[in-house]
Structure 1
């Protein structure tokens, strides 16, 4: 059989790093028969790619975008221009160590684009197909919510609409408010919802949804952008028959990449909290309101009290949520990942590329209320 085992492992069990970190691990292989090769090496790559099909006559064409953040090649044995290296049966372990650049974006995976960091181990055989194994690791670029002045401020959005034939009819008013705009994965967003319906129109239910809006940019053969909206989590509540309905709703933030995807020029991420009030018989006239939410990787030290200027129909005072004593986060896989790690120029026989990969992001264990 020859090559019994060929794998890459990391000293960090989470396989998650931040820009500037030193990444340590090892390439290991086990042989049960002698093998000759030109060399054994690793290829370390960090890049962003965007791509979607464009049908122009035939065949199918694609628009693409690309940014490279790092590219490292290192030989453990042999060299590209050297002679033949003979490996005898047994186990071989080759430690590696490299530093990540400082200004690189967080890992991100989706169907139209990704930011991906990989290591490929290669047994270089110039007269045959190479033996190759590949793994991905996560990079999380810190986003400290305390450094963004928008994150700590309270949020309140409102919309009113009149239903029926007479414009003089009282409108339905809907609003929601948040004590702060910035949150981290693992934290619950406290949402205060207010519905005023003195007109008596039937409001069936109210739905709250946290959405991820991703903007992709391609640069070849021309520059174009495309935006995709994904619902991360949502919750609905049936509205009772009353002139005024006030209730509290919490929404936990799952493992997510930070807002903005800083240092990436071809992918951008925003998070939107959207409320939709479903009015019976008036599907096209449902009330919709939305607000920007900022997702970071380092939580606010305190969550501010509600602004004294909040209208009387707004939320009550929230207790200050002191989170300075929160322990270090765990790192959990995103709900969204790559189906595989195969690049267009890679063989189907590269070990590891058929394994699905989901980046890991920091998740904080907040105390329950």
Structure 2
């Protein structure tokens, strides 16, 4: 019997995901467990797990009388929990020879996942762990983490809707009224992706006696929820500072550019961790608090489709074929009056009854009386609406019969 071998290395390798090496919900996670042995190895089982969860945790101290009590707030949410037995534990010992061995595996990711995240009071993590069970020995473990990016398409009606707001504030100092400051701001849409530029349209009216300074910033708000309590952490992603506005003056921003730096997307589907963004337009007023106007933002992963350029290119292709439409008037002209086209002698001649010698035997009967009845009647009045619309039930009459 050969002496038991030792494990030289145990590792987990994963194939790259479809989106920048990351995975998303509904994809197939593929990989392999690599085992390198120095000699013969007796093992009982080889298992691999795919796990993913969100964890929120923080400590708070509260004074109770003369004592300080610490509260531990913790909550978790599981998104992924899969298991695959590469070498099943059936009560028998499996012997592997020295060398390298590979064991492929696949996992189907669920339809609902949250984007990977690392925060001050919580995280969202995903990993694959392999466990090597040997008889009369400790379990050898190895873990490999992977990233999940849940797609957020900003090409939806809710995220393409413009966002606007207005706010005003009365500046007071030492119980004296120094005037009013108002701000009105608007952005083209609610959803953006990192790297895009947000054009800000704003009007700031300074009706005070002192100069004010307008600013704009993108704020990230991390919300952690545990045991019915919320813990928030806010940070400034990027900001711009406008020019000082003198007393009694107005400042107008005609699409002031604010570029979004590389940041993580919004997390809105997790029950215990949420990451939200907002655009804040504020005005620094000396001697009093700031005037703040907040507009919601959603940072997505799927950028805006160029519908505008595609529409213009299509219209340019058909512009030559549709030029003839410009010659058509909006409303067709009415035909001229009967008397303006036909003179009186021609009218009398056309309305005169035909001679009996010309018609012969056709005039013998009720047909001639029908002509005489409508002899002196004027032509019908012009109308764009057909007074006798054709009916589908009327069968066309053969003119040769």
Among residues 4, 26, 40, which one is paired with 2:32 in the alignment?
26
- Partner Cα separation in structure 1 for residue 101 and residue 271 of structure 2: 40
CA shift, 1:42, in A, is 0.8
TM-score by length of 1: 0.70
Alignment pair present for 1:10 and 2:23: no
Larger radius of gyration: 2
Q: Which one of the candidate residues 220, 226, 241 is aligned to 2:231?
A: 226
Q: Does 1:95 align with 2:104?
A: yes
Question: Where does 1:107-146 land on structure 2 (aligned, <5 Å)?
Answer: 107-125=116-134, 127-146=136-155
Q: 1:72/1:195 Cα in 2 relative to 1: closer, same or farther (>3 Å)?
A: same
CA distance in 1, matches of 2:241, 2:7: 55
Report the 3-state secondary structure (helix = DSSP H, G, I; strand = E; otherwise coil) of the residue aligned with 1:101: coil
Tell me if the contact between 1:53 and 1:60 (Cα under 8 Å) persists in the aligned partners: yes
User: 2:225 maps to which residue?
Assistant: 217
Rounded to whole Å, the distance in 1 between the matches of 2:134 and 2:68 is 37
Match of 1:12, SS state, is coil
Deviation at 1:61, TM superposition (A): 5.4
Deviation at 1:126, TM superposition (A): 5.5
The residue aligned with 2:332 is: none
Question: How far did residue 290 of structure 1 move?
Answer: 0.9
Query: Which secondary structure does the structure 1 equivalent of 2:280 belong to?
Result: strand
* Per-residue deviation, 1:153: 1.8
The change in CA–CA distance for 1:228 and 1:168 in structure 2 (over 3 A counts) is closer
CA displacement at 1:119 relative to structure 2: 0.4
**Residues 301 and 323 in structure 1, CA contact (< 8 A), matched pair in contact too:** no
Mapped to 1, the partners of 2:172 and 2:150 lie a distance apart of 51
Tell me the residue number matched to 2:77.
Answer: 67
Q: CA deviation at 1:200?
A: 4.3
In the alignment, the residues of structure 2 paired with residue 84 and residue 65 of structure 1 have an alpha-carbon distance, to the nearest angstrom, of 40
Change (3 A) 1:321 1:206: farther
Unaligned runs of 5+ in 1: 304-319, 326-369
Q: Displacement of 1:40 after TM fit?
A: 1.8
Shift of 1:100: 0.7
Equivalences for residues 192-211 of structure 1 within 5 A: 192-203=201-212, 205-211=213-219
- Larger proportion of strand: 1
Q: Using the alignment, how far apart are the partners of 2:236 and 2:205 within structure 1?
A: 27
Alignment-derived partner of residue 258 in structure 1: 266
Instruction: State the SS of the aligned residue for 2:16.
Output: coil
2:278 aligned partner: 272
Partner of 1:159: 167
* 1-structure distance, mates of 2:148, 2:52: 10
SS of 1:67's partner is strand
Kindly report which structure 2 residues correspond to 1:34-53, keeping only aligned pairs within 5 A, or say none: 34-53=40-59
Q: 1: distance between equivalents of 2:294 and 2:215?
A: 12
Report the secondary structure of 2:155's partner residue: helix
Match for residue 321 of structure 2? Answer: none
Post-superposition Cα deviations, 1:112-142, rounded to whole Å, max 9, x if no partner, equal: 2222221012222363332222122222333
Q: Which residue of 2 aligns with 1:293?
A: 297
Is the Cα–Cα contact under 8 Å of residues 201 and 252 in structure 2 kept in the other structure? yes
- In structure 1, the partner of 2:383 is none
Q: Give CA-to-partner distance per residue, 1:73-108, whole Å, 9 cap, x none.
A: 2222242x5333333321111111111111233322
Query: Paired residues, what number?
Result: 299
* Map 1:354-365 → 2, pairs under 5 A: none
- Identify the structure with the greater helix proportion: 2
Distance 1:217 1:101 in 2: 23
Q: Deviations over 1:311-331 (max 9, x none)?
A: xxxxxxxxx687999xxxxxx
SS at match of 1:135: strand
**Cα gap change, 1:39 to 1:189, in 2 (>3 Å):** same
Instruction: Give the deviation of 1:22 after TM superposition.
Output: 1.0
Match of 2:380 in 1: none
